[in-house]
Copies of this chain bind each other. A is one copy, B any other.
Amino acid sequence: MATMAAGGLTDEEQRTWRNFARAARLLFAQLDRDLSRDAGMVPGAFELLVILSEAPNRALRMNELAEATLSSPSRISHAIERLAELGWVERTTCPSDRRGWLAVLTDKGYEALAAAAPPHIEHIRTHLFEGLSDNDVAELGRICNTILSRLPASGAAGGGCAAE
């Protein structure tokens, strides 16, 4: 029944596209659920905390956060406000540029991250990697890197940014 969604894709491409979309969405949904159940963490908060924890002085400017998470300044602004209400980050003015703000990970935020990380990583392993061979993992990484490199404003190759 290769009707509407078929267009100019081969059968193989259609299958791959649907599998890729389903796998990605289901996987992210599962991980988000796990994270919110285990750590009471809203989807996306974890990523912000990780990135901050890896930054020098555990601090980053808002636009750097936006870039690192591939999201809009607006989203970062809202999200950091929520994290600040939880006491997980603090905002300090940027010394070198009075327009800017630094989001700083607090000790409390670091602890929340430290508590959330191990189960989360375990879930990534069980849901994503456990069924894949070493070769599959390498192939998947390579292919995704290729996809990334062709997407607008991606920052592909090796892991991008300072987030590694």
Tell me which of B16, B28, B162 contacts A140 (CB under 8 A). B16
A23-B144, A24-B28, A150-B127 given; A2·B136 CB < 8 A: no
The answer to whether B16 touches A160, judged by C-beta atoms less than 8 angstroms apart, is: no
A7–B118 CB distance below 8 A: yes
Q: CA separation between A41 and B144, bound complex, in Å?
A: 27
Residue of B nearest to A55 (CB): B1
Whether A20 lies near B141 (C-beta < 8 A) is yes
A6 CB, min distance to chain B CBs, angstroms? 8
Chain B residues in 8 Å Cβ range of A141: 12, 15-16, 19-20
A163-B2 Cα distance, complex, nearest whole Å: 9
Interface size class on chain A is: 35 or more
Is B4 touching A53 in the complex (CB atoms < 8 A)?
A: yes
When all copies of this chain in the complex are counted, the total is 2
- Mark contacts of A24-60 with chain B using CB atoms, 8 A cut-off: 1 yes-contact digit, 0 otherwise: 1111111000000000000000000110011000000
Other-chain contact of A147, B23, B148, B158 (Cβ < 8 Å): B23
Sampled A-B contacts (11; CB under 8 Å)? A4-B113, A7-B118, A9-B124, A9-B125, A9-B129, A13-B125, A16-B140, A17-B129, A18-B163, A22-B154, A24-B144
Interface residues of A (CB under 8 A from B): 1-9, 12-30, 49-50, 53-54, 70, 113-114, 117-118, 121-122, 124-125, 127-132, 134, 136-141, 143-152, 154, 156, 158-160, 162-164
